[in-house]
Amino acid sequence: MAILQKAVAIVIAGPTASGKSHLALELAQAFNGVIINADSVQLYENLSILSAQPTPDDFCKATHRLYGILPGEKNCTAALWCEMARDILQECCQNRKLPLITGGTGFYLKALMEGLVPTPPIPKEIRDKTIARCHEIGLKNLFREVEGFDPDIAKRLQVQDQQRIMRAWEVYHFTGKPLSVWQASPRVLYAPEYTFLSVYLNPPREKLLQKADSRLNKMIEQGALAEVKSLLDKKIPRSAPVFKALGALQLADYLEGLITLEKALEKTRKITHNYIKRQQTWFRHQLATPYRIDDFYCEDTFRYVQSVIKEFNY
């Protein structure tokens, strides 16, 4: 058996609809665990169905943290999420609870396990200025500006990667230092006292896409439309982070009479399929784990992961 000097935290990663939450719940019940959300959309309140948050029954079976805690307009950076997760990890360590960190936002998981480079928070006025500049000159020309003041970072960017191009532009114009210089700085570690044991669920893609389609239909039956209508009634802008939930904008278009429900669901299925493909590609290249399971959650998966955890003297 492995003998570790550090505390152990379990990371359960995988694409949407792969069964991560079910596996986390079973393990939490078996090992006196606390489930910590690492899905950027499940952080938001008033969208529990469309974001596939655990059910009320699940919440009763085990302790869940970081679900439905943020208002829809609040942006949650990886650094902010890591700070919240770090506080819960410290509580788990003090109370001898096993942390089970699960979600499909790979960058959150990678940041927690490997740390983040120290870049300052960007004020809203600078972010608004960045957006305005992008609209004024177009993304291609914004990329050329980034090439001018930060050629090193530009080599790592793709011309269509709007989010990362705008990030490089805003960091330079706020701090006067290129993002590449910031990224060369030592990383900030959020949980150095923990050893992370990563499990990756990677079901066959075609079966995964079918399951995602079926889950979307169930979401509509369970009240996803009412959730999106509530966001619209509250005048939450479509640019708000909560509208990044798969299908939120498309269902909003339906509710506002812009498209049919059939078209909204068709569009949602398409963006969900594309998102799953991106997730699988990202996890394959970015998540270092010896425990890859090429299947959905099932009893055999639970027993296998249970045995792995026991090997670590937990």
Q: What is the pLDDT of residues 119-159, one digit of tens each?
A: 888 998 999 999 999 999 999 999 999 999 999 999 999 88
Question: Are 286 and 106 within 8 A, CB to CB?
Answer: yes
Q: Is residue 58 part of a domain?
A: yes
288 against 266, higher pLDDT: 266
* Dist. CA 287–CA 32, nearest whole Å: 26
Placement of tokens 């490997």 in the chain: 114
pLDDT in tens, 131-142: 999 999 999 999
pLDDT at 7 over 80: yes
Cβ(109)–Cβ(13) below 8 Å: yes
Contact 32, 314 (CB under 8 A): no
Quote the pLDDT of residue 313. 64
Same domain, 160 and 29: no
The per-residue pLDDT for 141 is 97
Domain CATH for 146 = 1.10.20.140
161: pLDDT strictly greater than 60: yes
In a domain, 282, yes or no: yes
Q: 184 Cβ partners below 8 Å, 6+ apart? A: 117
Domain-terminating residue out of 183, 214, 231: 183
Quote the pLDDT of residue 310: 86
* Shared domain check, 266 and 212: yes
Q: Is 277 annotated as a binding residue?
A: no
Is 63 annotated in a binding site? The answer is no
Residue 216 has pLDDT above 50, yes or no: yes
Least confident residue range of 2-11, 130-139, 266-275, 305-314 = 2-11
Whether residue 226 is found in the same domain as residue 282: yes
User: Does residue 175 lie within any of the structural domains?
Assistant: yes
Residue 17 marked as a ligand binder: yes
pLDDT at 287: 83
| Per-residue model confidence (pLDDT) at position 3 | 41
Which residues, listed in sequence order, are joined to residue 293 by a DSSP beta bridge?
Answer: 201
Q: Are 110 and 134 found together in one domain?
A: no
Do residues 203 and 295 make contact, with C-beta atoms less than 8 angstroms apart? yes
Tell whether 2 is covered by a domain: no
Which among 46, 21, 22, 24 is positioned nearest to 33, based on CA atoms? Answer: 24
- Count other Cβ atoms within 10 Å, centred on residue 74: 14
Residue 136 sits in the same domain as residue 244 = no
- Determine the 3-state secondary structure of 171 from DSSP: helix
pLDDT-derived band at 289, boundaries 50, 70, 90:
confident
Phi, psi of 101 (to 5 degrees): -95, 120
Q: What is the pLDDT of residue 4?
A: 45
Note the pLDDT of residue 40: 96
The mean pLDDT value for 282-300 works out to 87
Per-residue pLDDT tens over the stretch 13-41: 999 999 999 999 999 999 999 999 999 99
pLDDT tens, residue by residue, 52-81 = 999 999 999 999 999 999 999 998 999 999
Residues 156 and 205 in one domain: no
- Is the same domain home to 24 and 107? yes
Around Cβ 229, how many Cβ atoms within 10 Å? 15
> Mean pLDDT for the chain?
93
pLDDT (0 to 100) of residue 312? 76
Would you say 142 and 166 are in contact if contact means Cβ atoms under 8 Å apart? Answer: yes
Q: How many domains does the chain have?
A: 2
Examine the domain organization and report whether 31 and 163 are in the same domain: no
Residue 119, marked binder: no
**The pLDDT value given to residue 2:** 43
Res 5: pLDDT: 57
Same domain flag for 23 and 99: yes
In a domain, 1, yes or no: no
The annotation status of 14 as a binding-site residue, yes or no, is yes
Domain identity same for 303 and 201: yes
Domain final position from 136, 154, 183: 183
Provide the percentage of residues in the chain whose pLDDT is more than 70: 98
Residue 153 shares a structural domain with residue 71:
no
Domain that holds residue 203: 8-116+189-311
307 annotated ligand binder: no
Least confident interval from 162-176, 225-239, 294-308: 294-308
Q: Is residue 3 a part of any domain in this protein?
A: no
User: Is residue 230 marked as binding?
Assistant: no
Residue 103 labeled ligand binder = no
* Mean predicted confidence (pLDDT) in 165-169: 95
Residues 161 and 292 in one domain: no
Among 208-217, 255-264, 305-314, the least confident range:
305-314
Residue 106's CATH number: 3.40.50.300
